[in-house]
Amino acid sequence: MLDIIDQYDTERKISFESFPEKYHTKQYLYYQCSGQGPYFGQAAWFSMYHHEDVPSARDRYHGELRRIIKVLNGVLSDKEYLVGGKCSYADLSFITWCNIAPGILGADAEEVKQDNPYYAAWMDRLLARPAVQKTLKDKERLAPPDKKYKLDHRVDEEEEKAIVEKTMRCSGATGCSAAASTAVQ
C-alpha cells in the first residue's frame, strides 16, 4: 500500500510529508495490519465459516474485536481522524473490516457502537466519503456470486481447507489498496 501512496498521492491528499504525521500514519497502518486485520479475520472465521461452532475461539476473537474498537475509540476521542486532522490512508485502511464488523458481532453490534461513539462517528464519516462508497459498491458488484459476503455460512472441512489454502496465497490488503488508490484519484 505504501508504494501506491508514494506513487499516486504526490499532492499528499491522504498522506503526509511532515514529521511526525508521516510516521504516525504508518503507525496506524501497522496497527491495522497487525491488530485489526488478524483479529477481525479470526472473529469472522470462527463466527461465520468454521465448520463447527467453537465458543471459546469465537468469544476470544469477539473480545479482541471489541478491544481494538475501544482503542480506536480512545484515540478518536479528541479528533475526527487518526492523524493530522484529515482523512489519510491510515483511516482508509480500517474500512474493509470495520464495515463488516456488525455482521461478525451480530446482536452485539449495536452495543459496541453505543459504547464507542467516537469510533462510530469516525466510521460514519469514512463511509460517507464518495470514493469509499464507490469502492465498496464496485467491490460488491465485482465479487462473484459465490463469494458475496454471507453471514453464518458454516463450511464443511473440505471447503475450509480450500479457503485456508487460497487465503495463504492472497494478500489481505487488496481491499485497502483499492480504497486508497480510488481516494487519491
| CA dist., res. 36 & res. 29, Å (int) | 10
User: Do residues 42 and 146 make contact, with C-beta atoms less than 8 angstroms apart?
Assistant: no
Can you give the pLDDT at residue 167?
A: 56
The pTM is what? 0.76
Q: Quick one: which of 136, 64, 125 has its CA closest to 96?
A: 136
The tens digit of pLDDT for each residue in 138-184 reads 887 887 666 555 544 445 567 656 666 665 555 444 444 444 444 44
Can you give the pLDDT at residue 151?
A: 45
| CA dist., res. 148 & res. 29, Å (int) | 26
Q: Quick one: which of 115, 35, 113, 110 has its CA closest to 68?
A: 35
* Residue range 115-132: mean pLDDT, rounded: 94
